[in-house]
Amino acid sequence: MLPALKIWALLSVSLCCLSQPVHPKKGFRCPSTCSCSKESIICVGSSYVPRINPNDINSLSIVNGTFSEVKEAMFAHMSSLQLLLLNSNSLTTIRDDAFSVSFLSSSSNKIETVYKYAFRGLRDLTHLSLANNKIKVLHRDLFSDLDSLIELDLRGNAFECDCRAKWLMTWLKNTNATVSDVVCAGPEDMKDKRLNDMSSLHDECISTDFILHHYKNDVYVAIAAPSAESCLVFQWDHIEMNFRTYDNITGQSIVGCKTVVIENEVFVIVAQLFGGSHIYKFDEDQSRFSKFQDIEVSKISKPNDIEAFQIGADWFFVIADSSKAGLSTLYKWNNKGFYSYQSLHEWYRDTDAEFLDLDGKAHLILASRSQVPVIYQWSRSNQKFVLQGEIPNMEDVVAVKHFRIKEELYLAMTRYIGDSKVLRWGAKQFAEIQALPSRGSMILQPFTFKERYYLALGSDYTFSQIYLWDDDKKLFDRFKEVYIQAPRSFTMVSTDRRDFMFASSFKGNTQIFEHIIIDLSL
């Protein structure tokens, strides 16, 4: 064994294939913290990498150094360097493209992070040691360029043998290099096991995230934009793979717009505080929405929500009226237009309406700022909604949304003051299962992407929250914070196998977040 290999075995982390010794150039001055010979330099306690070096030095050792990072091209000025020992220093990070050597040792440091491309291009590297550091995770394909690797030492680290180690487990099975034991420090059920011996890891390696989506104009579908006094109609561009504005329905203080498709014709119901509410219909000849019908002003004083639905072959929509003399009204389609059909819940300042199927029967829930939510059931005999009951202990609910998880029915109840609540249907009643802190919230919206169940909780005072359902605990856990100015609604859109969340606001522009899949094993 060559003397250099003995040093590597002792100190670990090095590169090999030394060239023939060459005398240093004349005028070379050895740094004060170093000892220099014809072809090598050894530095003790250095706070930096020596910069004044002859090009023919092929061996450099730095011990007990005080610098914390190996930066990109840090040793590029030493073009002949082939053996590098960086043992027992204060290193915590190795950045991309840090080395250009054949024999590398960086053991007994405090390294926690090795960048994905730290060893990029080192096709002549034969010996590598990262022993006795604080490494928990190594990036996938970290060793993909090491075609000549003979020996790898990873002892003395604290590897987490979860899904992020799956690639390393596979690589250990396929590499021709001799690799030290890779001992697991966690999770608890894997502690002290050897990754070298494993054939599978059962941890879930897929997670998700919501990232702000940048779009050229505005959105898709129909979303009220109160700050712009408009209802934006949006279209997904399948060529540019982006959202663009298709039409803009303007009005006065628009608080909601809802699309309804009846016999292949598209309608947009637009509710506004002033100037009356209206229905628009898509005009194919003009490729835009034109006013189709006015909604009776006498019936709607202060609209706050629109809910459209179908019962049997009939189409309906209801507008929740939040004025003190409010009269929430049900409208029915009669093949010529929508006309008032039934008055509901007079004088109660309704804030939200939610249509749902409850035990096979059509129901309507109306939420109110002045009393607990009430439940109506559709009567087949008289073809009207009949008051059935209420949801107790749920005062000051501003919005109610229903959702299902594996056939179980839940309600998301939004409260502006106090905690918002998640309720589950069972034994002919709704029972609370979870409270979510929600001061200043106007919407708690359930939705599902990629078989994952979420709640988006808006806030007027702080960051909005996204919660993710934990199937083991049967509860929602906090998943991500997003900054949206006073969100009033969340609308979910899926197109071209991509999923988006639209967040509209009374104070700012509509924002779009894309739901993405993250492979944690990368």
Q: Specify the pLDDT at position 219.
A: 37
Q: Specify the pLDDT at position 427.
A: 82
Q: Specify the pLDDT at position 10.
A: 26
Q: Specify the pLDDT at position 243.
A: 78
CA distance 265 to 370: 38
Q: Specify the pLDDT at position 405.
A: 97
Does the predicted TM-score (pTM) go above 0.75? Answer: no
> For the ranges 88-92, 460-464, 518-522, which has the lowest average pLDDT?
518-522
Share of the chain above pLDDT 70, in %: 90
For residue range 416-428, what is the model confidence (pLDDT) as tens digits?
988 999 999 998 8
Q: Specify the pairing of strand 328-333 against strand 338-344.
A: antiparallel
The residue whose two tokens read 């509209």 is: 504
Tell which wins on pLDDT, 78 or 110. 110
Tokens describing residue 27: 């005028």
26-31: Cβ within 8 A, 24+ apart: 28/52, 28/53, 28/54
Q: Specify the pLDDT at position 331.
A: 95
Q: Specify the pairing of strand 103-105 against strand 230-237.
A: unpaired
> For the ranges 49-53, 197-201, 510-514, which has the lowest average pLDDT?
49-53
Do 223 and 232 contact (CB within 8 A), yes or no?
Answer: yes
Q: Specify the pLDDT at position 5.
A: 29
Element (H, E) at 360: none
Q: Specify the pLDDT at position 221.
A: 65
* C-alpha atoms less than 13 angstroms from C-alpha of 395 in its C-beta half-sphere: 4
Angle, CA of 220, 464 and 439, to the nearest 5°: 130
Q: Specify the pLDDT at position 93.
A: 94
Q: Specify the pLDDT at position 26.
A: 55
CA distance 142 to 484: 38
User: In the chain, where are the structural domains located?
Assistant: 33-203
Per-position DSSP letters for 423-475, written without gaps between them: EEEETTEEEEEEEEE-TT---EEEEEETTEEEEEE--SSS-EEEEEEETTTTE
- pLDDT at residue 217 above 50? no
Share of the chain above pLDDT 90, in %: 50
Task: Give me the mean pLDDT over the 348-352 stretch.
Answer: 88
For residue range 251-282, what is the model confidence (pLDDT) as tens digits?
888 888 888 989 888 899 998 888 788 999 98
For residue range 218-227, what is the model confidence (pLDDT) as tens digits?
333 677 776 6
Task: Give me the mean pLDDT over the 123-144 stretch.
Answer: 92
Count Cβ atoms below 10 Å from residue 426 Cβ, excluding itself.
11
Task: Give me the mean pLDDT over the 22-27 stretch.
Answer: 49
Q: Specify the pLDDT at position 21.
A: 37
Model confidence band, residue 6 (pLDDT cutoffs 50, 70, 90): very low
User: What average pLDDT does the chain have?
Assistant: 85
- pLDDT at residue 52 above 70? no
- Tell me: domain 33-203, CATH 2.40.50.140, correct? no
Q: Specify the pLDDT at position 55.
A: 66
Bridge partners of residue 4, in order along the sequence: none
Tell which wins on pLDDT, 228 or 437. 437
Tell which wins on pLDDT, 452 or 244. 452
